[in-house]
Amino acid sequence: MDYPNDQAPGAPVRSGIPEHGRIPKYYAVKARIAALLEELGEGSVIPTERDLAERYDVARETVRQAVRELVLEGRLRRKGRGTVVAGPKLAQPLSLASYTEGVRRQGRTPGRTLVTLDRFPCPEPLAAETGLTRGEPVWHLERVLLADDERVGLESTYVAVGRVPGLAADFDPDSSFYAYLEAQGITFGDADERIETVLATPREALLIGTPPALPMLLIHRVSRDTEGRPLERVRSLYRGDRFSFTAHLRG
């Protein structure tokens, strides 16, 4: 699997392309419109469906589906009779918690299915976000999340090989990664976390077993140990019809 140096750690793996390589036409158009939004900027009115259909040489229904998904993801918003580029989403802090612990507290059995475990040089976006060194070896652990054997999510974890050099040899992919780190003498200190709603890419929907139009909850987490050193970067995608999240607040 290719991990180019400009691959952002929060982006879908392989840009959402399924392993069989076939990309739905609407998704290709959606990606091109998304790039256009970056050029237009917040509050700008996007071209009409007819103009976009002519620009990308596709049917208007294909454009309509692409735009509909961008609206659901919060990247576009309706304004009067037009559609404009939406602003950035608000970030809501959440508490540090283990997936395993959360599922067990609800009386269900947690599980995971390994998708991939590989290593690659740390790309610049991941280094800038976590404090790791660009080019140093990094593990990428990707697993489907289960609850009572039902597929409910997809998790990608990035961690420096130097912190857990034996990960490929002595880690059980069906077990808790947090428990594994603790067994290695590594203790979590703090983390920054952000949650947003998205739609799964075709690849993610295939792995989780859901239709691409199903809203998902996406959590980004950057964790550090008790000494403040970077520990992990996690991208967790949860089925919107299966999960909600709570936080204990104190004044």
Strand partners, 155: 143, 236
For residue range 25-52, list pLDDT tens digits in order: 999 999 999 999 989 999 999 999 999 9
| 49 secondary structure, DSSP code | H
C-alpha 139/C-alpha 29 separation (Å) is 32
Q: Locate tokens 């840009």: which residue?
A: 15
Judged against a pLDDT cut of 80, whether residue 14 lies above it is answered with no
C-alpha 145/C-alpha 149 separation (Å) is 9
- End-to-end distance of the chain based on CA atoms, in angstroms? 47
For residue range 73-120, list pLDDT tens digits in order: 878 988 888 899 988 775 544 655 567 777 777 777 888 999 999 999
3-class state of residue 85 by DSSP? strand
Helix axes 60-72, 49-56, angle to 10 degrees: 110
**Residue 196 burial (10 A CB sphere; 0-12, 13-18, 19+):** middle
Judged against a pLDDT cut of 90, whether residue 208 lies above it is answered with yes
Output the pLDDT for position 92. Answer: 47
Output the pLDDT for position 83. Answer: 93
Say what the pTM is. Answer: 0.73
Output the pLDDT for position 93. Answer: 43
Residue 26 has phi, psi (to 5 degrees) of: -60, -35
Q: What is the mean pLDDT of residues 233-250?
A: 80
Confidence label for 3 from pLDDT (cuts 50, 70 and 90): low
Output the pLDDT for position 240. Answer: 80
Strand 137-147 vs strand 110-121: parallel, antiparallel, or unpaired?
A: antiparallel
CA angle at 40 for the pair 37 and 46, rounded to the nearest 5°: 70
Amino acid at 148: D
C-alpha 42/C-alpha 145 separation (Å) is 35
For residue range 147-163, list pLDDT tens digits in order: 888 898 999 999 999 99
Whole-number percent of the chain with pLDDT over 90: 50
Judged against a pLDDT cut of 80, whether residue 201 lies above it is answered with yes
